[in-house]
Amino acid sequence: MVFSSNIFLFFFLPIFLIAYFITPQKFRNYTLLLFSIVFYAYGAPDFVFLLVGECVINYFIVRAMGRTDGVHTVSTTKKKNLCALSVIMALGLLLYFKYANFFMENLNTILGWAHHEPVDWMKVALPIGISFFTFQSITYTIDVYRGTTPPSQKLTDYVLYIMMFPQLIAGPIVNYNSVAAQLVSRTSTMEDRVVGFYRFVIGLAKKVLIANTMALYADHVFGMAYGDLATGTAWIGILAYTFQIYFDFSGYSDMAIGLGKMMGFRFPENFNDPYTSRSVTEFWKRWHMTLGNFIMNYLYIPLGGNRKGKGRMYFNLWLCFLLSGLWHGASWNFVLWGAFHGLFICADKLFLKNALKKIGMLPSVVITFFLVAMGWVLFRVDTAADAGAFYQALFAFKGGLTVAGDAQFWCVFALAIVFSFLTLVPFGQKLQDRIFADNYSKPLSWTMFAITLVLFILSAGSLCVSDFNPFIYFRF
Amino acid sequence: MNKKPHFLIQFVIILVAFTAILLQGFTHVVKMKPLAGYVPDEQPVKLSFKTYYDGTFQNYLTDHAKRNSGFREPCIRSYNQSLFSLFGKSTNNTLVHGLNKEMYLQIYLDEIKGKTLKDCYGSEDYFKTKAQKDIEKTLVLIDSLKQHNTAFLFVEAPSKTWVYPEYMPQEYQDSIMSFCVQDYYTQLFKENNIPHIDFLSYFKSLKGKTKYPLYSRYGTHWAESTIPFVSDSILTKIGSLIGQEMPHIVCVDENLTTKYSKQDGEIESLMNLLLPIRKPAIPQPIMALSDTTLRKPNILVIADSYFIQLHESTFADAFNRCDYWKYNDEIITKEINYLGKVNQYLEAYNVIDEVDLVMVVTTSVYAYDYMFGFCETAKEAFIDRDGKLKQKMIEETIERIKSVPEWFESVKQQAVERGIDLDEMLRLNAIYAIETDKQKQQN
């Protein structure tokens, strides 16, 4: 089940909201937990028990690790071992379900080169959301290990932290420390609920009205033989994908944050106008910020960060991005994408960031956007060879196969550009700050309410209309 | 005191709206104007461990939710209207916007660019071979019908794409196939003296010479304004085939209107918009028969949707019985004993004994499904019926013989005495028994 689906919008969400708000405050966590389990079980009937089981086991491991009677604490060795056990268990599941197929494919390729028989292997299915809940589980374990936060006192609260449906499938990656207090006690004012709803609908519109329109064009271009593409079409295709991925992912995050706010949770922001960045370094401070924070706090800093000399710092940076690429997908093109960004992060540290500062804001934004878009080629294609062919199409400056965009595509494309770069101008920044404010004046709130109503109807209509292609008669 | 009561009001509205959406989704208590068009029925899936575990139940629920979401009709219409008003496009991908605001159905565009021919037959040559066989079957059918004093007529209805290719989107104009399947059948009909009316050539000859368009912009079938002369042409031809005078169609009133009804507005209705499109006025003529005292014959019509307009107009009043077998599948008739599907009734084809003429009406898209298999099904159920019935009676009588031990023994003995195979002896005895019974009944 996804947020942008009829079954979620018209059935699951209404039932959940009614049930949640009529439940007395002290039982609301149970209501949320029940609906979250149903949400996950709907889409992953074979993995829901795995997830719940893993949560239960991890809860007890971490509780044992964080046990203290006020005077004596668990020994450091035992604490380390339990922490390692918890992390290994979480990473082990991730490695098995997400990377076993990748590993076996590569092993069989190598065996093929060595003229050996390939190993028979039954492909493993991927539990949805595993990349996100694994990282959340790790933040909990390590935060307790570091003493940043005590372990959860209730099993149900911990399971809720992992399985809460707003952020279970696609983030934001919420570290335990930031929501621990909210799990135990939180309030949601009427303003929170309504503003949360505004945010949810804005996210829905970004996904359904913008991202899906861009996706139609991008899928068409990327479905063609890259060698035959006209250069102009290749460029429009990658730009369409660049906007698709941003509005899709940020839209989903908006929906998660909005739903959380309705319930009184304050989830961290995940996107901050990333395409207005003036360097790749800045891009990663604005794109998927919760992933960036996770990588920094739980990988880069433990590896030594920048405290062990410049050489080690560049290695750490590059390794973090390599692993980040691999986290996004079990395929060499994702690894290349990570390496691509790692390279430019290192280049920023060396010379690039300073050089971009000198040439002015607009050129640096354009160059950074160009680099990010080139990175998305690696992200979108299936193989490294395909990436090469697409880059060729981009820079061959030749004619070939074209895809004509219609008026709707160009209009939405223009809107995507405007919304992506709006905050480059002061008026745009002010407008965004007003729309995503914490406090709304009465006239503004009614304006927002009217806008979200229209956006909701259009988004709902778009969802209802997809795959609805009636014939005149049954024989047509 | 709540300092921000507007948020409370908005939250209540949100909750009430979601509750209403939910209730409407489950109960459909508020009657909505249904969306136009046909979509295949959903296949219900019962919840069980297996269907839940393998995801088929969830897929069914997801599809069911899509079809039954509360207030989906106004949501769809609002979205469609916004897309049409802003960008002039439709969300229904079975429709294609042409030039000059003309609209087409995708299947007709696929047909004219040769995709249907390629999908169904692979090549022109293979189609021509198949068409020759169709003609042979048609001649057998005509001959059999003649023995039952029933005439035959094939009406070739013209599709908008072949008459007005210049309004198709440019990409289709650039790829019109040079071979027209309907024209090929016309040539074969002429060569084999099969009674037919070629409306495709006729409509092409009328282009630019008529007061009103031959097709509605928002329709795919022949316009209502053409029904008077189409009906009149068919009635005249029927009269000549069955040897009796048929009435003419008289146009009583042009009835110009911007409210396109029936098939003139079918594509517009399929777009499921909130507001009607501004359209030029076209006739929806009111017709009458020139003479209602003439004998009204009976006809059976096997046709696609091009016959709907004729069936629902004054044309059908010229007949005592005008049975319409839609796509040779659904029976539309005033005879209450025969409603539903053709293949539900063993005796359906016996109607051929009661009609003066069998007429087939199809357009280019259905030329690939020649007569919807009527030649074959009529042969099976009607032409060969006597032979089949007799064979059935013989088999039943043989079973009767075998069930009576004395009779069976007697047959066995006869087979031995005459040196004949037992099965053959049984068959001869069964024929004798049937003939004897028939004789007794006649006496």
Q: Could you tell me if B65 lies within 8 Å of chain A, comparing CB atoms?
A: yes
Beta bridge partners of B215: B222
Q: What is the pLDDT of residue B1?
A: 47
> Mutation test of the interface with chain A: which of B2, B3, B4, choosing the one with the most A Cβ atoms within 10 A?
B4
Condensed to tens digits (0 to 9), the pLDDT of residues A182-208 reads: 999 888 899 999 999 999 999 999 999
Would the ipTM clear 0.90, i.e. be above it? no
CA distances from B391 to B221, B379, B386 (A): 45, 16, 9
Q: What is the pLDDT of residue B43?
A: 84
Condensed to tens digits (0 to 9), the pLDDT of residues B187-246 reads: 999 999 999 999 999 999 999 899 999 999 999 999 999 999 999 999 999 999 999 999
**CA of B392 to nearest chain A CA: how many angstroms apart?**
35
Who among B6, B86, B94 is closest to A446 (CB)?
B6
Residue A370 burial (CB count, 10 A): 10
Across the A:B interface, residue pairs with CB atoms under 8 Å apart total: 157
Active site residue A328: yes
Q: Which of residues 308-327 of B touch A (CB under 8 A)?
A: 327
CA distances from A333 to A329, A337, A380, A385 (A): 9, 6, 9, 9
**CA of B75 to nearest chain A CA: how many angstroms apart?**
4
Tokens representing B228? 């008077």
Alpha carbon A20 to chain centroid distance? 26
CB contact under 8 Å between A190 and B40, yes or no, is: no
Q: Which of residues 233-292 of B touch A (CB under 8 A)?
A: 266-267, 270, 272
Q: What is the pLDDT of residue B120?
A: 86
**If chain A, 476 residues long, is cut into consecutive pieces of 10 residues, what is the mean pLDDT of each piece?**
90 94 93 95 88 93 77 74 92 90 89 87 84 91 90 92 90 88 90 94 95 93 90 94 95 95 94 95 95 92 87 90 90 91 92 88 94 95 90 87 86 96 92 85 92 94 80 59
Radius of gyration of chain B (CA): 29
CB B323 within 8 A of CB B300: yes
Which parts of chain B sit beneath pLDDT 50? 1
Q: Which residue of B has its CA nearest to A17?
A: B15
Angstrom distance (rounded) from CA A168 to CA A162: 7
Q: What is the pLDDT of residue A474?
A: 57
Q: What is the pTM of this model?
A: 0.85
> Mutation test of the interface with chain B: which of A194, A200, A208, A446, choosing the one with the most B Cβ atoms within 10 A?
A194
Chain A residues with CB under 8 Å of B66 CB are: 6-7, 463-464, 467-468
Condensed to tens digits (0 to 9), the pLDDT of residues B350-374 reads: 888 889 999 999 998 888 889 999 9
Q: Give one DSSP letter per residue of B400-436, joined into a string.
A: HHHHSHHHHHHHHHHHHHHT--HHHHHHHHHHHHHHH
